[in-house]
Structure 1
Amino acid sequence: MGRKPFNDKFLSLTKRILHLTFYALFPLTLLSISFYLLSLTPFPTIQLLQSNTIITFNSSLSPPPPSSSAEEHKAYENSCNYYNGDWVRDMNGPLYNATTCGAIRDGQNCIKNGRPDSGYLYWRWKPSKCYLPRFEPHTFLQLIENKHIAFVGDSLARNQLESLLCMLATDSAPDLVYRNGKDGDREDRRWHFPSHNANFSLYWSPFLVHGIEKSDEGSYYNTMYLDQANERWARDVDQIDLIVVSFGHWFLSPAVFYEGHSVLGSLGCTDLNHTEIDFSVPIRKALRTTLNSIIERKASATAKRNGIDVIVKTFSPAHFEGDWHKGGICPKKEPYREEKKQLGRVETEFTRIEIEEVESAKAKANAFGGLRFEVFDISQLALLRPDGHPGLHRKPFPFAKGLPKDVHSDCVHWCLPGPIDTWNGILLEIMKKWEKQP
């Protein structure tokens, strides 16, 4: 029997509907699978570098800020230890950049100098048992209103102060009101914040005590007089409310040390036939002279009208792979983990001596009142950041003409912005703690 025309048409129509349904559902199914897979993958953070400005687009999966009120409360406890912890990812980025801050010196202006990576900008320091808040420029300026803050010491004192000026400039711009020379690396400078009548001074004094620096034209070694405070800064103690002391690396270079107008010994000067002494002896004596000088000058009759706060910053480790003068570099792109990197003998010895001398100064100052001393222990958190130095980008675009030859990397100082900004976050917390004390 032949097929009925109606049935044939019905079967044909059914097949067409099934085919159309299949072809319609197939791409929809693939699209659904794709969305499901994408939901399992975090959205990347896209960074654009334009005119030295960092623009960051964050996904909804960026790490949220801490919301625990108990954790935030610990930030203001006197017992909070900000110095042990780890660096964790933070997509917020720095407060400033090379375009918004004019205080960045060329050697630390890493992005302007062509550093191609920017990942080193997206980490924050997370203390082990408390929370370090994001830096608040306005709060810092309020705390130093009508005050004079001095950074005394080596190039890392300068590095930290320039970082601080950049952070504060996001709230109020400072004026450079004084400089005593044309050598930007070794000159004293002063900035004034008209909005809060606050002054910041930088005193170049890498030995803290009186001394003569080595030079290409003169001696190959430094000369230090360990029992004489450097009057370059000491003469102004009566006008200063807070001193941040920074020293270290210069005490590891060849030097001859004097005490009482006689040679105490030398370091790395075997041809001079002096007694060879370890670096720990001169750093202890130089710091003791410095702190005693501050106490004596503030305790005098003319200086009793106001007190002084003194913060001693510990040693900031370098990260050279190889010797700096033999092509040593610092190529790391991420921080170390705390459990994988510990302080060496030099850093540990520096910190031990600094803690002991500050405690001794506290005991002496108790007889006078109005003097506070604190150790600012940045050694461990700085040790964990081998990625934060200018390296070869201490000069503009070092690879523009191929691989550089005989160009020294900078694995001591810090890019601005960079990890050193965190030091000022901790400095603010110290000042907030002091403000709450009677």
Structure 2
Amino acid sequence: MKMGSSNNNPFKDQTNYSFTNKLFPYTLYALLPIAIIHLYLNPFSFSFSPTDLFPYTNRITISPSKEVLRKSIGLETSCDYSNGTWVQDNLGPLYNGTTCDTIKNGQNCMVYGRPDKDYLNWRWKPKNCKLPRFNPNSFLKLVKNKHIAFVGDSLARNQLESLLCMMGTISKPQLLYTDGEANKNRKWHIPSHNINVSIYWSPFLVKGIEKNTEKDFNTLYLDSVDEKWAKDLEFIDFLVLSVGHWYLHPAVYHNGNNVVLGCHYCQNYTEIGFYDVFGKALETTFRKIVERKGQNGNESSVFLTTFSPAHFEGEWDKFGACSKTQPYKEKVLEGMDAEMRKVGVEEVRKAKLRVEEFGNSNLRLEALDISGLALLRADGHPGPYMNPFPFANGVGERVQNDCVHWCLPGPIDTWNEILLDVLKRWGGEYKGKLT
């Protein structure tokens, strides 16, 4: 055999052994200063494993899913806001009746002389999740460069004015436009964040003719959406719908081709009630929203504020019609209040399925389920303080009361806390933690 053959090199094993023996201490010498520096800078976090020396050894890395990451930072994707209790909160509201000039006179209870103030010192505490106090800065950032619109009846306006007051503690809205009786259609602009905020008067959401001196009933066309607001859908990024109480009034209902379906509390037509009619109107509304937003690739969020219970405990024009000064600890949602809420929640559920069928991932829908928590707040209505200082001259024989709308500030501010929290859970404020 040839002496030069590598297979017969008597020094082969010794050479490799010697090189390995030298490499290992050299490696340790190189790592030792790094370890000492790390230990000095982070004395309680130093750890060492073989993979630090040999990073390319076979190992499996599992990246946590976004859902796992959400839970690790204490964030759930959803919250059951309907289940909870009212707890005392001495922080009080963000604004008052004198610092906000967008409050409708009939809801400005403090300025109109309501003597008790306890109704201002409660916050809603969901059972299984947290509902933070409204943060105006967070909301303004989330809706920056966007258009948020409230559509519906006077409860929609009530909620809108609450939101304007809370945002106004940071950046004052500027009124751009007003139209209609009692300023029912208005638009504001917030220059600091380039935000538009609108209110559209549409008490049925679908096309309707309100009762007047000639006809003492409303006329509804259940297959046609009200274009007064629907024509602007492509320009609306956040849409909050709120209707219900106008469906309790006498009305005649029409469907396609002007066919009369029946009526509620009227003559000459078949009585059909209003629960199914309310559902049909919401179905028409959501169908149009999904169809029109399906043609638009922009991100949009649509909310339905569920039915807000009234608290009349006697004649509306008698003293003490809604005189509570503390929230109920427990009260069951039942009867009409429960049914109206149920219809709203169900129609939102069906609308979500339509969104899936359309494949439009940019359109989100949610029910702001406030019916139960609102039921507990019989203390939050203007009552006789819908008029200024109603008892200045004593208690009269007739005392007009509002046990439907809400004092501002008051319990209705919570509805907008829920609105903000839903937006954050959808990825707004926490987005950076999940990407």
User: TM-score by structure 1 length?
Assistant: 0.79
Partner of residue 285 from structure 1, selected from 273, 276, 280: 280
Alpha-carbon distance, 1:183 to partner? 2.0
Question: 3-state DSSP class of the match of 2:211?
Answer: coil
Residue 9 of structure 2: aligned partner: none
Residue 312 of structure 2: aligned partner: 320
Using the TM superposition, name which of 124-133 and 155-164 deviates more: 124-133
Question: 3-state DSSP class of the match of 1:363?
Answer: helix
Q: How does 1:68-83 map to 2 (within 5 A)?
A: 74=74, 76-83=75-82
Residue 217 of structure 2: aligned partner: 221
Alpha-carbon distance, 1:141 to partner? 0.1
Residue 398 of structure 1: aligned partner: 390
Alpha-carbon distance, 1:105 to partner? 1.2
Partner of residue 382 from structure 1, selected from 374, 386, 389: 374
Alpha-carbon distance, 1:182 to partner? 4.7
Looking at structure 2, the residues matched to 171 and 72 of structure 1 have their Cα atoms a distance apart, in angstroms, of: 32
Check the 8 A contact 2:319/2:395 in 1, yes or no. no
Alpha-carbon distance, 1:348 to partner? 1.5
Alpha-carbon distance, 1:198 to partner? 0.6
Report Cα offsets for 1:91-112 as digits up to 9, x if no partner.
Answer: 1000001121111111000011
Looking at structure 2, the residues matched to 72 and 87 of structure 1 have their Cα atoms a distance apart, in angstroms, of: 28
User: Does 1:247 pair with 2:238?
Assistant: no
Q: How does 1:7-406 map to 2 (within 5 A)?
A: 74=74, 76-184=75-183, 187-215=184-212, 217-260=213-256, 261-269=258-266, 272-300=267-295, 304-324=296-316, 329-338=321-330, 341-366=331-356, 367-369=358-360, 370-406=362-398
Check the 8 A contact 1:135/1:425 in 2, yes or no. yes
Looking at structure 2, the residues matched to 161 and 354 of structure 1 have their Cα atoms a distance apart, in angstroms, of: 19
- The AA in structure 2 aligned to 1:295 is V
Looking at structure 1, the residues matched to 364 and 86 of structure 2 have their Cα atoms a distance apart, in angstroms, of: 30
Alpha-carbon distance, 1:197 to partner? 0.4
Question: 3-state DSSP class of the match of 2:207?
Answer: strand
Alpha-carbon distance, 1:308 to partner? 1.8
- The AA in structure 2 aligned to 1:365 is V
Check the 8 A contact 2:318/2:397 in 1, yes or no. no
Check the 8 A contact 2:78/2:425 in 1, yes or no. no
Alpha-carbon distance, 1:327 to partner? 6.3
Identity %: 56
Alpha-carbon distance, 1:307 to partner? 3.1
Cα distance change of structure 1 residues 208 and 123 upon mapping to structure 2, 3 Å threshold:
same
Alpha-carbon distance, 1:344 to partner? 1.6
Looking at structure 2, the residues matched to 140 and 342 of structure 1 have their Cα atoms a distance apart, in angstroms, of: 32
Using the TM superposition, name which of 174-183 and 149-158 deviates more: 174-183
| 5+ long unaligned stretches in structure 2 | 1-69
Residue 433 of structure 1: aligned partner: 425
Cα distance change of structure 1 residues 103 and 114 upon mapping to structure 2, 3 Å threshold:
same
Alpha-carbon distance, 1:278 to partner? 2.0
Check the 8 A contact 2:149/2:200 in 1, yes or no. yes
Looking at structure 2, the residues matched to 352 and 388 of structure 1 have their Cα atoms a distance apart, in angstroms, of: 23
Looking at structure 1, the residues matched to 71 and 109 of structure 2 have their Cα atoms a distance apart, in angstroms, of: 34
- The AA in structure 1 aligned to 2:372 is Q
Looking at structure 2, the residues matched to 244 and 133 of structure 1 have their Cα atoms a distance apart, in angstroms, of: 20
Report Cα offsets for 1:382-420 as digits up to 9, x if no partner.
Answer: 000000000000000000111133332000000000010
- The AA in structure 2 aligned to 1:209 is V
Looking at structure 1, the residues matched to 328 and 404 of structure 2 have their Cα atoms a distance apart, in angstroms, of: 16
Which of these two proteins has the greater Rg computed from alpha carbons? 2
Check the 8 A contact 1:72/1:131 in 2, yes or no. no
Following TM superposition, the consecutive aligned residue runs of length 4 or more in structure 1 with deviations greater than 4 angstroms are 70-74, 325-328
Alpha-carbon distance, 1:324 to partner? 2.5
Alpha-carbon distance, 1:83 to partner? 1.6
Looking at structure 2, the residues matched to 94 and 127 of structure 1 have their Cα atoms a distance apart, in angstroms, of: 19
Residue 403 of structure 2: aligned partner: 411
Report Cα offsets for 1:213-258 as digits up to 9, x if no partner.
Answer: 113x221111111111001100000100111110111111111111
Residue 23 of structure 2: aligned partner: none
Alpha-carbon distance, 1:191 to partner? 0.8
- The AA in structure 1 aligned to 2:338 is T
User: TM-score by structure 2 length?
Assistant: 0.79
Looking at structure 1, the residues matched to 282 and 315 of structure 2 have their Cα atoms a distance apart, in angstroms, of: 28
Looking at structure 1, the residues matched to 273 and 72 of structure 2 have their Cα atoms a distance apart, in angstroms, of: 43
Check the 8 A contact 1:71/1:130 in 2, yes or no. no
| 5+ long unaligned stretches in structure 1 | 1-69
Residue 61 of structure 1: aligned partner: none
Check the 8 A contact 2:250/2:265 in 1, yes or no. yes
- The AA in structure 2 aligned to 1:88 is V
- The AA in structure 2 aligned to 1:350 is M
Looking at structure 2, the residues matched to 405 and 395 of structure 1 have their Cα atoms a distance apart, in angstroms, of: 15
Say what the alpha-carbon RMSD is for the aligned residues: 1.8
Check the 8 A contact 2:250/2:264 in 1, yes or no. yes
Using the TM superposition, name which of 97-106 and 410-419 deviates more: 97-106
Cα distance change of structure 1 residues 326 and 220 upon mapping to structure 2, 3 Å threshold:
farther
Number of residue pairs matched by the alignment? 358
- The AA in structure 2 aligned to 1:131 is K
- The AA in structure 1 aligned to 2:273 is D
- The AA in structure 2 aligned to 1:312 is L
Check the 8 A contact 2:318/2:401 in 1, yes or no. no
Question: 3-state DSSP class of the match of 2:301?
Answer: strand
Cα distance change of structure 1 residues 310 and 166 upon mapping to structure 2, 3 Å threshold:
same
Question: 3-state DSSP class of the match of 1:78?
Answer: coil
